[in-house]
Structure 1
Amino acid sequence: MAVMNQARLVLASSSPRRRQLLAMFQRPFEVQTSETDESVPGRPHPAELVQTLAARKAGAVLQRLGGRDTLGDPVIVIGADTVVSLDGEILGKPRGHEQAFVMLSRLQGRTHDVYTGLCVLARDTHGAIQQRQGFSRTRVHMSSLNPQQIHAYIATGEPLDKAGAYGIQGYGSILIHRIEGDYFTVVGLPLHLLGRYLEELGCPLLDPQNRPAE
C-alpha cells in the first residue's frame, strides 16, 4: 500500500464527542454520516455487535466515496459504535425521559460495561483496501442515586442521545464513581486503538506534517 500519511481522513459519525476527540490532533478531517441500518439479527455479544456496526458505517461511507478498486487520492475512513451492557443486556439510546429514568435506575449503584467498536478502512491510490478492526471494553461503576438525582440529571437533556442514558464527559461525570479501562472508550472513540491502527496504516495521528500551517 502506498504511503498514507497525506490521505483524506473521514470520520463516519455525526457524534460531536468523536469529532471533538479527533480534532485534538489538529489533523484535518471531514465528517460524513453513514446513514446505515443499525439492526443486527439475533442476540450478538456486545463486542461482536459494535464491531459489526463500526465496519458497516465505515464501509458505507467508503462506498459513497468510490469503494474498492477506485483510482484516486488515498482515503481513510473511521467508523465507530458504542453500546452499554448491563448483565449481558444491551442498553441503547433512550426514546424519551421515561425510558432514560428506567435505564439510569437500573444502572445506579451498579457496575456495567461499555463497548466501543472501531473499524478503519484505508484505500490507496490504486484502489487497494486495508482494514483494521477491533473493540475496547471499559468497566464503569456508577454511584448510588435517588430518584430526585436521576430526574435532575434527565432535566439537563444530556441523556437523550447517549447509549445507556448518560454521558461521562458532561453532566454525567458526577454520576460515575470510577472506571476500569480506557476513558475514551466510554466517550465513544478509543484513541489508543485508533492511534495504533492509523500508525499501522501509515497515517500516524502525531505526525507534525499532518497539522495545518499556523
Structure 2
Amino acid sequence: MPRIILASQSPRRKELLIKIGLEFEVIPAGINEEGLTANSPDELVQKLAILKGRHIANKVESGIIISADTIVVLNGQILGKPFNRDSAKAMLKTLSNNIHEVQTGLCLINKDLDNELVIVEKTMVHFKSLTNEEIDFYIKTGEPMDKAGAYGIQGFASVFIKKIEGCYFNVVGLPLHRLYELLISQGVNLMGGEGRVNGLQSYYKGHARGHEA
C-alpha cells in the first residue's frame, strides 16, 4: 500500500476514509483561495481541489495525495460557508423549499507515477420548506457554521431534506465511489490482505447500529 495523504482538515472527509478502511495521514493544505477565478462553479471547485493537492504534492517526495473541495450551488450562485449567524440564516432561507446542487471537486495526485486525476461530482438536493423556528433552532446548534451552504446532511439538517439525486457522500464532502475508482486506477487495492479485513471488522463492531425488529 503506498503512502496515502489526505490534504484536508475536514473531520467529515477523515471519517469517510476511515469508514472504508483506508490507512492515511492528514496534511491540511491551508491554501489562500483569495483571487481565484473561474467561469463556472464546477470549474472553480475543480481548480480548488487541484490547488490543494498540488500544494501538498510539492511538499512530499512520494505517495498519493487526495484533495477535495465542496460547494453548494443554487441558480448559478455559489453558497460558501457562512461568516456569521445572519449569513447562515440567509442561506437557509434561500435553500428552503428549493432544489440546489452540491459539487465536489476531487483530485488525486500520484507522485510515484507522476499522475494527476481530477473529477467533479454533482448531487441534487431537495429541501423542504423551512419555518423560521426550524432555521433559528438549527443555527443555535452551531452545526451550520463550518459547512458550505450552512448545513450538514449527516446532522440535524437531515430532517430538512426530502430527497437527493446522486451520491449521498458527495454531499458530505467526498464521493466515495469516484474516489474508489481513482484509487483502483492507480493500483491501490482496498480489499488486499487479512489485515484490512480485520481492521474493518474492528471499526464496524465499534460503530454497530443494529437492525432490530
TM-score, with structure 2 as normaliser:
0.89
The residue number in structure 1 matching 2:204 is none
Gaps of 5+ in 2: 200-213
- Counterpart among 28, 32, 36 of residue 37 in structure 1: 32
Once the 2 structures are TM-superposed, how far is the Cα of residue 28 of structure 1 from its aligned partner?
1.3
Aligned length, in residue pairs: 199
Q: Which amino acid aligns with 1:17?
A: R
C-alpha deviations, 1:45-77, integer Å up to 9, x for none?
1111111100111111111113xxxxxxx4000
Gaps of 5+ in 1: 1-5, 67-73
Spell out the pairing of 1:168-207 with structure 2 (5 A cutoff). 168-207=153-192
The residue number in structure 2 matching 1:70 is none
Separation in 2, partners of 1:64, 1:42? 25
Separation in 1, partners of 2:158, 2:114? 39
Spell out the pairing of 1:64-75 with structure 2 (5 A cutoff). 64-66=59-61, 74-75=62-63
- Counterpart among 132, 140, 161 of residue 155 in structure 1: 140
Q: Which amino acid aligns with 1:149?
A: E
Q: Which amino acid aligns with 2:174?
A: L
Q: Determine what percentage of the aligned residue pairs are the same residue.
A: 44
Q: Which amino acid aligns with 2:48?
A: L
Structure with bigger RCO (C-alpha 8 Å, 6+ apart): 1
Separation in 2, partners of 1:65, 1:43? 28
CA change 1:208–1:25 in 2 (3 A) is farther
The residue number in structure 1 matching 2:53 is 58
Spell out the pairing of 1:1-214 with structure 2 (5 A cutoff). 6-66=1-61, 74-124=62-112, 128-208=113-193, 211=196
Q: Which amino acid aligns with 1:207?
A: G
Q: Greater helix share, 1 or 2?
A: 2
**What SS is found at the alignment partner of 2:152?**
coil
TM-score, with structure 1 as normaliser:
0.88
C-alpha deviations, 1:61-110, integer Å up to 9, x for none?
111113xxxxxxx4000000000001000000000111000000010000
Deviates more, 1:199-208 or 1:97-106: 199-208
Once the 2 structures are TM-superposed, how far is the Cα of residue 213 of structure 1 from its aligned partner?
6.4
Q: Which amino acid aligns with 2:151?
A: Y
The residue number in structure 2 matching 1:71 is none
Once the 2 structures are TM-superposed, how far is the Cα of residue 123 of structure 1 from its aligned partner?
1.3
